[in-house]
Structure 1
Amino acid sequence: MNIVAISGMDLSQLRDNLPDEVRSRIKFIWCKNTKAANEFLTDAEILLTAGRLDPEIMERTPKLRWVQSLAAGIDKLPLEAFIKRNIIVTNGKGVHTVQMSEFTIGVMLQRVRNTNKFLKHQHEKIWDPKLSFDELYGKTVGILGAGAIGEAVARKCQAFDMRVIGFNRSGAAQPHFNEILTGDNGLITLLQKSDFIVLLLPSTPKTHHLIKREQFQQMKSSAFLINIARGDVIDEEALIEALKNGTISGAALDVFEQEPLPETSPFWTMDNVILTPHIAGATDHYIERAAPIFYHNLKQYIAGQPLMNVVNLREGY
């Protein structure tokens, strides 16, 4: 049984520590890009990806039955082709909870403690102890996407004595949230109440430009938006307008509709924007967190048993 892994990440740890009970049953081939993988694709029954595959790869994988994504998002995969061929897709749901929740708290603290300004002053050798500061204490954070990452963010926010509101489709209560909202009215309530708004939604047709001009107008003028979901969840033109006009106070953006972010984007030079290059989920421990999911699924697949984190391809998550 051939597994072809296509990823620029170092997968040697994943390859070299395969469970003993499956090691003799499989051939694990790791390639850093699709070009290097071409000669192995014809016999590939399993593909392992970091979350992105060239759609043309489907023409060269006649034996493919299962795709394991090490990432949680699957919007960069050829989903329609998978549906047509009835290919199972599983994702890395659960691997981002630590790093993305820490990232969220980090940018919140960066915001309230004015650390960007202090770094600028350090470079300019300016001593100014009169800068103003705020606190996380008593603030309300609204989390759109009350899943595993949202729950981890909520737990850490409560440690700072913040009030946590969540938003999901079911409206079902979740641990560490003071309140869970759902539906159009629930979204409006969350936006109106929140000092910080954290986006953790997948990229689907239903979430495309979910946050646009109307939603920005429902937010507090002091609200700070954090997007660690996908860039297309936000209407970026409407966000730029809201940031320039003071409709909201600022944003921390890790994801964008076009990546890498073009040099012409206004985001680069906006003082009220914290900008990072899609790294909120990155960590030196990524593979060791993803490995248990892949190993579990590999053993289940060989045994003909149900896999974990199976993606609903029509829903997109």
Structure 2
Amino acid sequence: MEQGPNVPGEPPRVVVLRGDVPPPAMAAAERLAHVVYVRESQLAGALPGCDALFVWDFWSDAPAAAWPREGGPRWVHIASAGVDRLLFPGLVEGNTIVTNSRGVFDEPIAEYVLGLVLAFAKDLHTTVRLQDERVWRHRETERITGARALVVGTGPIGRAVARRLTAAGLHVTGAGRTARDGDPDFGLVHPPERLPAALGDADYVVLAAPLTAATRNMIDAAALARMRPSARLINVGRGPLVAEDDLVEALRAGRIAGAALDVFVDEPLAPSSPLWTMPNVIVSPHMSGDVTGWRAELVRLFTDNLDRFVRGRELRNVVDKRLGYARPDTGAARTPYAGQRR
């Protein structure tokens, strides 16, 4: 890639890691910056001397392998809420600002979770299977009004889930890093040491936490043993929050009543996985937040942040690289660009 001169006032050079599906409607971003689209094999050659990296292919591990020892981008934006793939040592330890796409997926995921709760309570997945088999089998179903839900993860997605479930009549509490009472969305928020006890009170356990060292495999055999035999587990966070082998064993043994999984340790989920054929499991292909127009919304968020970057204004959704997510109280940082190339 031709680098061009680094002169004051030059538009920033932005590298986009595009993947198989390029980002749509990038014209507004291209008016603000010199934008270059690359694939994984081209990334290492494109990063030195660039000002910003837009990780559109948020599944890619290429940024870690391609990251330069010196002269890396000042700012990296990822087209996802999760940033676990970006938190490699070279990026965490450097001065590069990281922003995510927090806010794009909150309400769609909350709607999806409500749909899954209704599917379990009204046994809709069984109805569809019986219809495929042309079997007429009358059943009784459950109420959701008054059921208890524990939402693990009190960020924007978890809060949106809590509001939807509360509106539908469930009693919702949360689990997060810090204990709180009187929270506007959860009422009660349990700290990590209270999570085992809180699991035993819930009819639905919803995982919406970021993937960090503290949350990896947080739902393991011991946690599943704490849950009610009638409880359902819903994971819309990250696959490695759950020890999948332990979950399969718990489902087979009837230790919990069911699971709805939108994320997995390895994606796509292998055809050989027993989760595909378990009657009390709903499998979806990491799509809970992907509604019509979601790609364009991701580009709009990036373009707004690019405009802020060019003007030297505070960026939205700045990630605390040590914690692994964007906190509301540390969600902005002033960029050093302000029209000046280094």
TM (normalized to structure 2)?
0.84
Task: Select which of 235, 259, 271 maps to 1:251.
Answer: 259
Q: Identify unmatched segments of 5+ residues in structure 2.
A: 1-11, 326-342
Counterpart of 1:284 in structure 2 is 292
Task: Select which of 17, 25, 30 maps to 2:37.
Answer: 30
Given that residues 208 and 237 in structure 2 are in contact (C-alpha distance below 8 angstroms), is that contact kept between their aligned partners in structure 1?
Answer: yes
Counterpart of 1:92 in structure 2 is 101
Distance 2:280 2:202 in 1: 18
Following superposition, the deviation at residue 264 of structure 1 comes to 2.3
Cα root mean square deviation, aligned:
2.1
Distance 2:97 2:50 in 1: 14
Counterpart of 2:189 in structure 1 is 180
Counterpart of 1:242 in structure 2 is 250
Counterpart of 2:331 in structure 1 is none
TM (normalized to structure 1)?
0.90
Distance 1:137 1:145 in 2: 22
Secondary structure of the residue aligned to 2:206 is strand
Tell me the amino acid that sits aligned with residue 173 of structure 2: I
Per mean C-alpha deviation after superposition, the further-off stretch among 200-209 and 84-93 is 84-93
Following superposition, the deviation at residue 314 of structure 1 comes to 2.0
**Superimposed CA distance per residue, residues 273-308 of structure 1 (whole angstroms, 9 cap, x where no aligned partner):** 101111112222223433443233222222223322
Per mean C-alpha deviation after superposition, the further-off stretch among 91-100 and 167-176 is 167-176
Secondary structure of the residue aligned to 1:133 is coil
Given that residues 150 and 202 in structure 2 are in contact (C-alpha distance below 8 angstroms), is that contact kept between their aligned partners in structure 1?
Answer: yes
Tell me the amino acid that sits aligned with residue 139 of structure 1: A
Secondary structure of the residue aligned to 2:85 is coil
Equivalences for 1:1-317 in 2 at 5 Å?
A: 1-8=12-19, 9-13=21-25, 15-18=26-29, 23=31, 25-31=32-38, 33-35=39-41, 40-50=46-56, 51=58, 52-54=60-62, 55-59=64-68, 62-128=71-137, 130-172=138-180, 173-185=182-194, 187-317=195-325
Structure richer in helix, relative to its length:
1
Given that residues 91 and 311 in structure 1 are in contact (C-alpha distance below 8 angstroms), is that contact kept between their aligned partners in structure 2?
Answer: yes
**Superimposed CA distance per residue, residues 54-102 of structure 1 (whole angstroms, 9 cap, x where no aligned partner):** 1222139835211001111111125211134321111111111121111
Secondary structure of the residue aligned to 2:184 is coil
Q: Identify unmatched segments of 5+ residues in structure 1.
A: none
Task: State how many pairs are aligned.
Answer: 309
Secondary structure of the residue aligned to 1:226 is strand
Given that residues 53 and 78 in structure 1 are in contact (C-alpha distance below 8 angstroms), is that contact kept between their aligned partners in structure 2?
Answer: no
Distance 1:16 1:227 in 2: 36
Moved over 6 A (4+): none
Distance 2:95 2:13 in 1: 19
Distance 2:208 2:285 in 1: 16
Distance 2:49 2:218 in 1: 41
Distance 2:233 2:16 in 1: 36
Given that residues 165 and 177 in structure 1 are in contact (C-alpha distance below 8 angstroms), is that contact kept between their aligned partners in structure 2?
Answer: yes
**Superimposed CA distance per residue, residues 171-197 of structure 1 (whole angstroms, 9 cap, x where no aligned partner):** 234323232221312x13321111000
Distance 2:294 2:225 in 1: 37
Secondary structure of the residue aligned to 1:305 is coil
Tell me the amino acid that sits aligned with residue 46 of structure 1: A
